[in-house]
Structure 1
Amino acid sequence: MLFTLRPWTLADLPHLVHHANDWEVARYLIDAFPHPYTEADGQAYLAFATSPEMSRCIFAIEVAGQAVGSIALHPQADIHRRNAELGYWLARPFWGQGISTQAVRQMVDYGFETFALTRIFARPFGTNHASHRVLEKAGFTLEARFPHTLCKNGKVLDEWVYGVRRTGHSVPA
């Protein structure tokens, strides 16, 4: 399925709220991604995602003119400054169509071309097998498993860490 990664705009609010307000999406995300997902939550997210410092790092996943998900790189600081954390979500009607894998691949290429990174990592829940497959298909390797590390909805869960290293790209200064 065709999709585009593009900057978020304030006009995306109705589609963002519609697609983000799904427990099946929220259950694998950090608690900062609320459920139910309200218009006020969407306004706060769009203010953050469209800010000058974040607009280079956070993109909407657009299908047929609608924002149906989000993907972001979060460059790290200090001694971790050559690393960035990848996060993403996609609306349920678009699952299983290869969009997430392709979006992750595009974001990895963008990250290595744009930022002085040597590694991009993601930290899915141990129970999020679909995300594990997306990352593996996009070239990430499992680096670590941390048992009983995360707490979501009263359950203690494992955290898995996947990473991909820069290859074929020079490191910008």
Structure 2
Amino acid sequence: MAGHDHDEISEITLRPFNLSDIDDFMEWATDEKVSHFCIWDTYNSREQAMGFIKYLAIPHPWLRVICLGEKAIGSISVTPGSGIGEKKGELGYALNSKYWGKGIATRAVKIVVGTIFRE
């Protein structure tokens, strides 16, 4: 079993949001276990979620979906600091609660850190 979890984690990829991610996004955005740890409130409508993807996620300078295979299971973002903190960034993520405890967020953070410093 442990070997299987490790294989799962190595399949993690990051990519920009698409409108077609709406169903996967709804799985974690409507979950109070997830939103409890986030700065946003639980989404309760598809329209609201679609608005987030269209107007915030897609135009965001650095927001990616965390994918396991083809499925979007979470998101991760880096928001640049400003003023005195301009050389810093804030990293935030949300992950579908079904996938908690497998090291997925840790893997996503490592990918982001590697990518951000190259960019």
Unaligned runs of 5+ in 1: 115-173
Indicate the SS of the match to 1:13.
helix
Task: Please state how far the C-alpha of 1:36 moved relative to its aligned partner.
Answer: 4.1
Aligned mates of 2:111, 2:84 — CA distance in 1: 26
Larger CA Rg, structure 1 vs 2: 1
- 2:55 matches 1:50: no
Unaligned runs of 5+ in 2: 1-7
Q: Which has the higher helix share?
A: 2
Show the counterpart of 2:47. Answer: 40
Superimposed CA distance per residue, residues 39-68 of structure 1 (whole angstroms, 9 cap, x where no aligned partner): 1231122121111xx2x4000011131111
Residue identity in the other structure for 2:12: F
Query: Root-mean-square deviation (CA), in Å?
Result: 1.3
Aligned mates of 1:3, 1:10 — CA distance in 2: 20
Structure with more relative contact order (C-alpha pairs < 8 Å, separation 6 or more)? 2
Q: Is contact 2:43–2:49 with CA below 8 Å preserved after alignment?
A: no
Show the counterpart of 1:88. Answer: 93
TM-score w.r.t. length of structure 1: 0.59
Q: Which has the higher strand share?
A: 1
Superimposed CA distance per residue, residues 9-66 of structure 1 (whole angstroms, 9 cap, x where no aligned partner): 0111111012221111011111xx2224321231122121111xx2x40000111311
Aligned mates of 2:71, 2:28 — CA distance in 1: 10
- 2:26 matches 1:21: no
Show the counterpart of 2:21. Answer: 12
Share of identical aligned residues, percent? Answer: 29
Residue identity in the other structure for 2:57: A
Superimposed CA distance per residue, residues 122-160 of structure 1 (whole angstroms, 9 cap, x where no aligned partner): xxxxxxxxxxxxxxxxxxxxxxxxxxxxxxxxxxxxxxx
Corresponding pairs, count: 109
Indicate the SS of the match to 1:88.
strand
Residue identity in the other structure for 2:22: L
- 2:87 matches 1:78: no
Aligned mates of 2:47, 2:73 — CA distance in 1: 18
TM-score w.r.t. length of structure 2: 0.84
